[in-house]
Copies of this chain bind each other. A is one copy, B any other.
Amino acid sequence: MTLERGCIQVYTGNGKGKTTAALGLALRAVGWGLRVCVFQFIKGGGPYGEHLIADKLAPLFTIIQTGRPGWVNTKDISEDRRAAQEALERARVILASGEYDLVVLDEINGAVRFGLVDVEQVLELISLKPETTELVLTGRNAHEKVIEAADLVTEMREIKHYYKAGVPARTGIEM
């Protein structure tokens, strides 16, 4: 099966559920035999549950982590930018190849927000999307030009979050 028409989806906002919504789309797509690539920016840490499950969903599900371990060094982004620029080059090849029916660019909005990737580079990446490929971009503070380029945009808005009640990020749920 292939998609007749691929759209561009954006999941943004300060609430929980952006990456997981993309992973849920991936799960659903793999169920239908679609080929999925989840390409993660600024997520060099882990492993996360989505990496540990990859073998079970192979060969339809591919997940690629990029970025340095730990969070972005906002005092000196040079290393993070170099890693993100390398990642961007890989993402271009993956998206343009047409080998995937669904491509998730996880946390690419964050990469833009931190200045690791320029928004024009993201727009150029989006322009490489084959017609039948669904493209999903995640991360808070999506750039307005990315929102403009998208067909579907959902803002995940935090109404209540348990980290404020002292619940730390938990393996199996947040990771």
Contacts and interface: CB of A to CB of B under 8 A. Distances in A.
Interface string A125-167: 0000000001000000000000100111111111111100101
A27 B4 contact: no
A161 B152 contact: yes
Contacts of A159: 147, 153-155
Contact of A157 (B19, B31, B155): B155
For chain A, give the interface size range: 35 or more
B31 A50 contact: yes
A160 B3 CA distance: 21
A157 B1 contact: no
Interface of A is mostly: mixed
A64 interface: no
A15 B155 contact: yes
A4 B134 contact: no
A50 B32 CA distance: 9
A52 B27 CA distance: 10
Q: Which of A1, A23, A53, A165: most chain B CB closer than 10 A? A: A53
A35 to B, nearest CB: 11
7 contacts: A3-B170, A5-B167, A29-B49, A56-B57, A102-B173, A152-B162, A154-B157
Given A27-B49, A155-B156, 5 more contacts: A3-B170, A20-B25, A31-B49, A150-B160, A155-B157
